[in-house]
Amino acid sequence: MTERMLQFVHLPQQTPEKRPVSLRREDFDEIYRRFDQDAAARQSSRCSQCGVPFCSVHCPLSNNIPDWLKLTAEGRLEEAYEVSSATNNFPEICGRICPQDRLCEGNCVIEKGFESVTIGAVERYLTDTAFDRGWVRPGRPLHERPQSVGIIGAGPGGLAAADQLRRKGYQVHVYDRYDRVGGLMIYGIPGFKLEKPIVLRRWAQLAEAGIVFHLDTEIGREVTLGQLRARHDAVLIATGVYKPRDIGGPGAGLAGIVPALDYLTASNRAGLGDDVPGFESGALNAAGKRVVVIGGGDTAMDCVSTAVRQGAASVQCLYRRDRANMPGSLREVKNAEEEGVEFVWLSAPEAFLGDGTVSGVRAVRMHLGLPDASGRQSVEPVEGSHFTLRADLVIKALGFDPEDLPLAFGEKGLEVSRWGTLSIDHRSFMTSLPGVFAAGDIVRGASLVVWAIRDGRDAAEQMHAYIQQSSTVAVAAE
Ligand SMILES: Cc1cc2nc3c(=O)[nH]c(=O)nc-3n(C[C@H](O)[C@H](O)[C@H](O)COP(=O)(O)OP(=O)(O)OC[C@H]3O[C@@H](n4cnc5c(N)ncnc54)[C@H](O)[C@@H]3O)c2cc1C
């Protein structure tokens, strides 16, 4: 079907239907259903084709959104997919889990008054259709190059770089300590946001393109960084950030208080059919328990909604700021509330109660004070406002820091910032070690999938330039 553009005046915003709460609470399938072709075309036709597309400007990948919306509205889906995938290695993933309300959709010019085009849902429809119809083909190169690259980390940053470099003809080797490809997309983010077959499908495509995966291989343990540098013409570090920020105070060491990523990884592994020791009855399963999650970011949102699906008796989320000041997506808060999660805003834990195992959290009310140097309002405890939440499982979701990579890799010369992230030259993406590049969360700190893809693409371009320059110098010296 063909739709004319600028239909926002007549057509309202439409998001794909959500599955009923009663079904959502029972499984880990995605919350949102898929657009059909008519809905995708109608929604795309709402785009105003404005002169300066702020959606593209605010997309970390500078996706040509108005162009592929127009092609979708005209029913030219294969061309729309070509345009969309030209700037994004994994549009089916961004369509599902990008915080569009803060990026493209939040900056859509018709947002003011008419509500934005639901760009993410169209992107998801388009790429799923492309997979269904066989338009997504492995990125095999036209010519092979003799040089090889080693990529440490199979998350979105490492995979985007691997895809780009393989398409240029390099022999690409990806090393990961996990047994599956995807990084946080496979073991961190739950299935109700990103179903696992979506990630496995991409892995299969990348392997078919000729990328060699060395799984269950931890660099710094099984293989050293030095060995990788000797083996490859350039190396990319895309190891993400995994050290959980901890919480102290009385009772912090009680059993039943667990880090968020341990909890989510166990749940994702169980969902993938892995044998997770003790999962059915263990500390990492919320079934039948009163659960308190501490934190207000995306990880905390994923924990509360996972606990609901595991059959928790109750789920509460304790966050020291309020709804308007939380870092997590408001769309996810709304979904969690619909599913029965209680948000305890402006509250912080002070102590954990229990005899060996946690039985409660003593908390204190907070109020928002004056903005600090960063412009964010400070939080201060309200005197005499203590209260207790009963809990059998407490999940700590307070964010992540980088591991000490120079130590883990035994490379003292690898320079890090004062936050422990890898220092790179922001033009060349090279670290302090010649021929060693870095991308994604390990450079930015905990961020987003779309930024990791962007960094991976940019780093790949710089690695290509470096290898070509090194080869030219070597030939000239002969
Ligand atoms: C629970 C959770 C939910 C999130 N939800 C969203 C969301 O909805 N939307 C969004 O955009 N972002 C989300 N994020 C953030 C997003 O997942 C990350 O920003 C992104 O995955 C970073 O990509 P990366 O490639 O840098 O690292 P990662 O995805 O972390 O991948 C790093 C890889 O490196 C491997 N590795 C680490 N050290 C070594 C080593 N020494 N040797 C070998 N391999 C190693 C790891 O095993 C891993 O596979 C979420 C994060 C979390 C934790």
Contact between 364 and 348 under an 8 Å Cβ cutoff? The reply is yes
- Out of 97-106, 130-139, 341-350, 437-446, which region has the weakest mean confidence (pLDDT)? 97-106
pLDDT reported for residue 3: 67
- Out of 97-106, 110-119, 449-458, which region has the weakest mean confidence (pLDDT)? 110-119
pLDDT band at 90 (very low <50, low <70, confident <90, very high): very high
CA–centroid distance, residue 264 to ligand 1 (Å): 13
Q: What is the pLDDT of residues 44-67, one digit of tens each?
A: 999 988 888 999 999 999 999 999
**Which of 464, 443, 471, 465 lies closest to 455 in space, CA to CA?**
443
**pLDDT above 80 for 5:** no
Rounded to whole angstroms, the Cα distance separating 164 from 166 reads: 6
Run of H or E including 325: none
**pLDDT above 90 for 111:** no
CA–centroid distance, residue 123 to ligand 1 (Å): 22
pLDDT band at 328 (very low <50, low <70, confident <90, very high): confident
Q: What's the rounded mean pLDDT across residues 280-298?
A: 92
Place of tokens 């959502």: 24
Ligand 1 pocket: which of 243, 398, 449, 458 to mutate (most atoms within 8 A of CB): 449
CA–centroid distance, residue 114 to ligand 1 (Å): 35
Write down the mean pLDDT value for the chain.
Answer: 94
Percentage of the chain lying above the pLDDT 70 cut: 99
Q: What's the rounded mean pLDDT across residues 314-338?
A: 92
**Which of 228, 204, 216 lies closest to 131 in space, CA to CA?**
204
Ligand 1 pocket: which of 105, 124, 181, 189 to mutate (most atoms within 8 A of CB): 189
CA–centroid distance, residue 439 to ligand 1 (Å): 11
Cβ(219) – ligand 1 distance below 6 Å: yes
Q: What is the pLDDT of residues 456-471, one digit of tens each?
A: 999 999 999 999 999 8
CB atoms within 10 A of CB 322: 16
Cβ(224) – ligand 1 distance below 6 Å: no
Cβ(61) – ligand 1 distance below 6 Å: no
CA–centroid distance, residue 241 to ligand 1 (Å): 7
Cβ(159) – ligand 1 distance below 6 Å: no
**pLDDT above 80 for 223:** yes
Q: Which domains does the chain have, with CATH numbers?
A: 7-132 (1.10.1060.10), 148-241+402-477 (3.50.50.60), 245-399 (3.50.50.60)
pLDDT reported for residue 113: 74
CA–centroid distance, residue 300 to ligand 1 (Å): 15
Q: What's the rounded mean pLDDT across residues 273-281?
A: 83
**pLDDT above 90 for 250:** yes
- Greater confidence (22 vs 278) lies with 22
pLDDT reported for residue 2: 65
Cβ(60) – ligand 1 distance below 6 Å: no
Q: What is the pLDDT of residues 147-172, one digit of tens each?
A: 999 999 999 999 999 999 999 999 99
Rounded to whole angstroms, the Cα distance separating 109 from 115 reads: 9
pLDDT reported for residue 231: 98
Cβ(120) – ligand 1 distance below 6 Å: no
Cβ(456) – ligand 1 distance below 6 Å: no
Can you say whether the dihedral through the CA atoms of 394, 396, 301, 321 is positive or negative? Answer: positive
Task: Give the chain's radius of gyration (CA, Å).
Answer: 23
